[in-house]
Amino acid sequence: MGGAKKRSMAQMEKTQDQPDKGKDESSAPAKKGGKTKTVAEKRSRGLQAPDLNDPKFLGEVGKMSAITPYSLASQFNVKLSVAKDLLEELERRRLVTLVGGNARIRIYQPAAA
C-alpha cells in the first residue's frame, strides 16, 4: 500500500540532467577524521574433510580438551556438517568419547590412550 509517490515530470527531468554523483565519490578525497570500515575477507569453507589417518590431524584433535563441532570446523576450516561427520567417525574409531551434549550439540573428549 505504501511506497514512494510518483515523481512529476519536472522532477524526473532534473534527476536525469544531473551528473551521476555516485561515480564521482570514489575520486573525491577522504574526509578528515572519518572512520573507515575494513571489510573482512570471507573465507570459503571447504567441503573436503581432513584425512582421518593423518597424524598431524590426530595430534591436533588429541591436544584439544573439549571438542565441539564448531571448534573443529573453525580450526580446520570445514563446514559444520563436515565437522559433525568427522566427530561421528572419530567416535566410531574410538579416538574420541562423547562426554555430554544433547540433540543439537555434542561435546567430545579425546579418548584416553
Tell me, yes or no, if the pTM score tops 0.85: no
For the chain, domains (ranges, CATH) are 55-110 (1.10.10.10)
Q: Go through 56-93 and write b for each residue having 16 or more CB atoms within 10 A of its CB, e for each that does not.
A: ebbeebeeeeebbbebbbeebebeeebbbebbeebeee
Kindly give the confidence (pLDDT) of every residue in the chain, 113 residues in length, as a single tens digit, with 9 standing for 90 and above. Answer: 788 889 899 998 988 888 766 555 555 555 566 566 666 666 666 667 788 888 999 999 999 999 999 999 999 999 999 999 999 999 999 999 999 999 889 999 998 75
pLDDT confidence of residue 103: 87
Q: What are phi and psi of 96, to 5 degrees?
A: -130, 155
pLDDT confidence of residue 73: 93
